[in-house]
Structure 1
Amino acid sequence: MSYQWDFTPVLTRWPMLLDGLLNTVKIAAIAIVFGVLVGLVLALLRLSPRRILRLPAAIFVEFYRNTPPIVHFFWFFYALPVVLNISLDPLVAAVLALSTQSGAFYAEVFRGGIRSIERGQWEGAKALGMTHTQLMRRIVVPQAATRMVAPFVERSFELIKTTALASTLAYGELLYQAMMVNSETFRPLEVYTAVALLYLVLLVSCSALARVAEARLTAYR
């Protein structure tokens, strides 16, 4: 007996899925902003000639690169409040988990982009009398930014998909709202197919924006 698809119960509850999608965009946008800030600091520390600065940053990056994201969600939501004797709502805990984890990966993107600039260009700029600020602004950053677009976008896509783990903290992002819809409709195939399509639309839209940004960066350079 073939399965009879029926999206009507899902469509009648589209506001719930829309709220979930908006919450997914919200948490992803906040986490990307803070993740970039964390990543920039870590990248600068890892590029420092001082071992005392490089080592802690390297340990931080390796820790987050080699541990499961869901552990970070649980730690910030369940363990950190116990350690600091505070309370965190699911949004704050999820943003902390996503920001620190993505920051570790963004740090490697930034560090790799800067280090990809040939050493001869650094030395040539210094020979011309450029200050470090001029060197970074005129030579390094324009080239590195273009080279970093693809890995940065890829990492951001992973962050957006990882927001689904916030559902384990009862935060109302897309997957959590989908589970609520499924509990009311008992149509898991239709519900999770709709969720997959919504994620697809979101990421394809982000990909289109990234291509525009990359084209502008290339033209600027």
Structure 2
Amino acid sequence: MHYQFDWRVVAEPSAWLHALAITLGYAAGTIVVGMAIGVICGSLLLSRRWWLRGPAAAYVQFFRCTPSMVQIIWFYYALPILTGFTLSSWVAAGLGLTLYMGAFCSEIFRGGIISIERGQWNAARALGMAHMRMMRHVILPQAMRRMVPPFVNQCILQLKNTSLLYVVAVPDLMYTSYELTSQTYRPLEVYTFVALVYLVILFPVTMMAKRLEVKVQR
């Protein structure tokens, strides 16, 4: 096999920069909102009131146990059929990725809180601390250190999940790759280049995640 690579097919800086901006924008937006959802739903999962805990658990389990691609497609195609309310491809994709991120962040937050030893809770109560003060000064500072590595790892996965935006024609890196491949018939060059772009972005973040894990273990 004598395949001749032609890297000139990926030499379109403006198209790639636009696609990269969309990819990073979606990643940043869905991560920030997803983390906020995670804190809220994670707190509800810890509630003793079943009517608060139940809906939060249902949401988390649904979005954790179904593929994010299916969720994006459902919001874009199925929701208008069922409700008559149409979402643009940009909103549908963002909503699917955000709720997916929120579900995983909810479990990370809940797991971080319950990982704190019961002795810490009992000691705070013995000092007469109210629940909110105990959470603020005793539990959360310790739990946050343990949450940071899994939060960073989930952020890495979320950036890779943005590659699913192409299914509803949002012009991210993968959709731009698909379009360029259909024009040039050079999938090896195009997708290899995209893989390198993701590697350049994510490799420093993964190294940072490893350093954070080492610090937490000390």
Structure 2 counterparts to residues 74-85 of structure 1, below 5 A: 74-85=73-84
Gaps of 5+ in 1: none
Q: Is the 8 A contact 2:153 2:206 kept in 1?
A: no
Residue in 2 aligned with 1:178? 177
Residue in 2 aligned with 1:133? 132
Distance 1:201 1:89 in 2: 31
Residue identity (%): 45
- For residues 55-103 of structure 1, what are the alpha-carbon distances to aligned partners after superposition, in whole Å with 9 as ceiling and x for unaligned? 2211211111211211101111112233333332211111110111111
Give, as a single letter, the amino acid of the residue that structure 2 aligns with 1:104.
A
SS at match of 1:2: coil
Deviation at 1:208, TM superposition (A): 4.9
- For residues 108-163 of structure 1, what are the alpha-carbon distances to aligned partners after superposition, in whole Å with 9 as ceiling and x for unaligned? 00000000011111111121122222211221111111111111112121111111
Distance 1:5 1:93 in 2: 37
The TM-score with structure 2 as length reference comes to: 0.91
Residue in 2 aligned with 1:104? 103
RMSD in angstroms over aligned alpha carbons?
2.0
Distance 2:146 2:198 in 1: 26
Gaps of 5+ in 2: none
Higher relative contact order (CA 8 A, sep 6+): 1
Q: Is the 8 A contact 1:5 1:190 kept in 2?
A: yes
Structure 2 counterparts to residues 29-108 of structure 1, below 5 A: 29-108=28-107
Residue in 1 aligned with 2:3? 3
The TM-score with structure 1 as length reference comes to: 0.90
Deviation at 1:210, TM superposition (A): 4.9
Residue in 1 aligned with 2:160? 161
Asked if residue 120 in structure 1 is aligned to residue 133 in structure 2, the reply is no
Deviation at 1:47, TM superposition (A): 0.1
Residue in 2 aligned with 1:20? 19
Give, as a single letter, the amino acid of the residue that structure 1 aligns with 2:160.
K
Distance 2:30 2:174 in 1: 17
Distance 2:83 2:209 in 1: 39
Q: Is the 8 A contact 1:27 1:91 kept in 2?
A: no
Structure 2 counterparts to residues 191-202 of structure 1, below 5 A: 191-202=190-201
Give, as a single letter, the amino acid of the residue that structure 2 aligns with 1:5.
F
Residue in 2 aligned with 1:151? 150
**Residue-pair matches, total:** 216
